[in-house]
Amino acid sequence: MYQVNFNNPVHVHFMGIGGISMSGLAEILLSRGFTVSGSDMKESPLTLHLGNLGAKINHGQVASNITDDIDLMVYTAAISPDNPEFMECKNRNIPMLSRAELLGQLMKNYATPIAISGTHGKTTTTSMVSEILLGADKDPTLSIGGILKTIDGNLRIGKSDYFVTEACEYTNSYLSFFPKISIILNVEEDHLDFFKDINDIRDSFNRFAKLLPEDGYLIINGDIPELQTILDGVKAKVITFGNSSSYDYYPEEVSFNDKGSASYTLKSALGDSKVQLSVVGEHNVYNSLSAIALSDILGLEREKSVASVGSFTGTDRRFELKGKLGGINIIDDYAHHPTEIKATLTAAKNYPHDKLWVVFQPHTYTRTKAFLQEFADALTIADAVILTDIYAAREKNTIGISSKDLLAKLVEKGKESYYFSSFDEIENFILEKCSNNDMLITMGAGDVVKIGEHLLGQ
């Protein structure tokens, strides 16, 4: 595999440079003196930003964009083999890396690369870790899957040896990484358009954990079922967290304030700490345990780390208060898996309201079919459910599933539930039915956020 060395900057060409992840990787290379070019189908704020930093941007993808001075080409999964730039690089024998492979190569240039994985909670935990390192003045480089208010974006380029990134299991992309410290938050069934079953997923996380060197650390949730299947063959030191005194880090005296944010006493061999969170839900207790465990491994001052975690108020689309419509609180949340939905709606129960409405947009046909009953079970926590059409993302509906199937399950359970085929119909229904002091959550990984934003005039 092509080795990327910060001490030997070369010319790197990005196919699909306008994507939020690809643009971030391109910006890191620009900051290190690399020559960067790239192509995308249209101009965007991200391509304009990169152009201002010195990148050469082409709009449209044609073979002539591939010039003699390109040393390396980087592509995304969305690029097909018959793409003219891709084919030209093949014809010229130009070395090629996928986005995940490049990210792994970048990690090798930092003394302390940190990768945060799990079926749920990656963005929030990566953000908590980021706040800790920023609060400790460690000048980290950060790659986050959401917008962190502290850095006003998803990317921060630092000058230290700390590099922090999310590590997604989909298509096994994180198996191209080279972490020194990894966090595994949870392991559940998801992405069943790629993985065969939960055993296949456990095997993937085991392979990810085994990437760590002997002098590395794995911070892992001890409550993960069949934990040993993930730990088999791991050479790094293992640190556990979870809901038991048998783990290295665990909480006691958990309570919630009137906004649904938890406080608890963190128990560990290195001492106890009182933690007050500013994000909602019990699930964030465990996210914060893993982040503080990491800060202890790095030898950071515990009191400062606890304060940094406590000051974290969330990232965009994670129980984000979008505003008030009259007396109705409108919140948006990225939850698109039954476990995430259950965690979000359970957290919402601690937030003051009269009636809890959820506008849920199922994400992908395969996920909807695989978890149809589980989605229905999780959504019953709400007082009323409004369903949109399924957000297709990368898929085509070849399996004959629709939101009406989920509606039927909810009706069977006696849940007040509705389906509308357009956002306009949903907005009109909300204006007619929601009352003062109700809470409305728009939920899903697609574009359902637009409903609340449009109602609020944003």
Residue 320 burial (CB < 10 Å; 0-12/13-18/19+)? buried
* Residue 108 a catalytic site member: no
- 58 pairs with which residues across the strands? 39
* Residue 56 a catalytic site member: no
| β 153-156/141-148 pair status | antiparallel
Measure Cα distances from 137 to 217, 261, 441 in Å.
22, 26, 36
CA distance 84 to 99: 18
The catalytically annotated residue of 27, 119, 122, 141 is 122
The catalytically annotated residue of 88, 166, 169, 340 is 166
Task: Indicate if the alpha-carbon torsion angle 255, 261, 266, 272 is positive or negative.
Answer: negative
* Residue 340 a catalytic site member: no
Answer left, alpha or beta for residue 250, where phi above 0 means left and psi between -120 and 50 means alpha.
beta
The catalytically annotated residue of 123, 165, 339, 366 is 123
Neighbours of 192 (CB within 10 A): 17
Measure Cα distances from 196 to 98, 192, 203, 408 in Å.
23, 6, 11, 27
Contact by Cβ (8 Å): 222, 293: no
Which spans in 171-325 are helix H? Answer: 198-209, 228-231, 283-297, 302-311
Contact by Cβ (8 Å): 55, 48: no
CA distance 369 to 451: 24
List, as own/partner pairs, every contact residues 321-325 make where C-beta atoms lie below 8 angstroms and the sequence separation is at least 24, other chains included: 322/442, 322/449, 322/452, 322/453, 322/456, 322/458, 323/452, 323/456, 323/458, 325/434, 325/440, 325/455, 325/456
The catalytic residue positions are 122-123, 166
